[in-house]
A and B are shown apart, each in its own frame.
Chain A
Amino acid sequence: DAKTTQPPSMDCAEGRAANLPCNHSTISGNEYVYWYRQIHSQGPQYIIHGLKNNETNEMASLIITEDRKSSTLILPHATLRDTAVYYCIVRVGRSGGSNYKLTFGKGTLLTVNP
């Protein structure tokens, strides 16, 4: 799986949009961009994923650049409960082999401030 680069930490004011960047310049054509987050002392929580097109769900939006070398996770109205470590990973789709083994990098610690 391609490696990703994320800033170690970010701050965001409550109620504002949080924009978390991720660089994945070596991404392959069959690799998806996934975002998870981990709130302190909890299990990782799936947020969203995409291949080429921008995606939106009830939690967040994912903006992927046209060349797919970077992406941004957007939390439109951050709350204090969104304080967590956010992980961006890229992985191939389910095509056999051992690509099911998830690995997280260090992620971005997002702190939402009142």
Chain B
Amino acid sequence: GAGVSQSPSNKVTEKGKDVELRCDPISGHTALYWYRQSLGQGLEFLIYFQGNSAPDKSGLPSDRFSAERTGESVSTLTIQRTQQEDSAVYLCASSLQVSSTDTQYFGPGTRLTVL
């Protein structure tokens, strides 16, 4: 079946511009996560959506970052007034959240470069 998809795969933008990243989770997965991975670094949790519950936004690094999710489908991560330190690979994952182990499956990521 189809996995998690993300678009665009690459995004180059100028400092100060807004960008929107999209994630399509695996169909039926109720949980959706955004992470980012800077060059040579580990995963950094950003935000978590689960059904109709309030999202966990505790990982968003600043108020320039926001994310939305429509029901249990598509999510968009928006970065306003981008800065060079926002350059990273932004990863989306989804999970079924019906089992005790709740495996997260990742998309291919969006590589964001802020010039």
Contacts and interface: CB of A to CB of B under 8 A. Distances in A.
Contacts of A95: 100
B42 A101 contact: no
A13 to B, nearest CB: 28
B92 to A, nearest CB: 8
A105 B56 CA distance: 23
B45 A46 contact: no
B99 A94 contact: yes
A43 B33 contact: no
Using C-beta atoms within 8 Å of the partner chain, give the interface range for chain B. Answer: 20 to 34
Interface string B94-109: 0101011111111111
B114 to A, nearest CB: 18
B44 to A, nearest CB: 9
Interface residues of A, number: 20
A46 B101 contact: no
Interface of A is mostly: loop
A94 B97 contact: yes
Closest 6 CB pairs of A and B: A93-B100, A43-B106, A94-B102, A101-B45, A44-B106, A43-B109
Given A45-B106, A98-B58, A102-B35, 20 more contacts: A41-B111, A43-B108, A44-B43, A44-B91, A46-B103, A46-B105, A46-B106, A49-B103, A93-B102, A94-B97, A94-B100, A94-B101, A98-B56, A100-B33, A100-B95, A101-B48, A102-B33, A102-B43, A102-B45, A106-B42
Interface of B: 4, 6, 31, 33, 35, 42-43, 45, 48, 56, 58-59, 91, 93, 95, 97, 99-109, 111
24 contacts: A32-B101, A34-B103, A42-B109, A43-B4, A43-B6, A43-B91, A44-B91, A45-B106, A46-B103, A46-B105, A49-B101, A49-B103, A93-B102, A100-B31, A100-B33, A100-B104, A101-B59, A102-B33, A103-B42, A103-B43, A103-B45, A104-B42, A105-B42, A106-B42
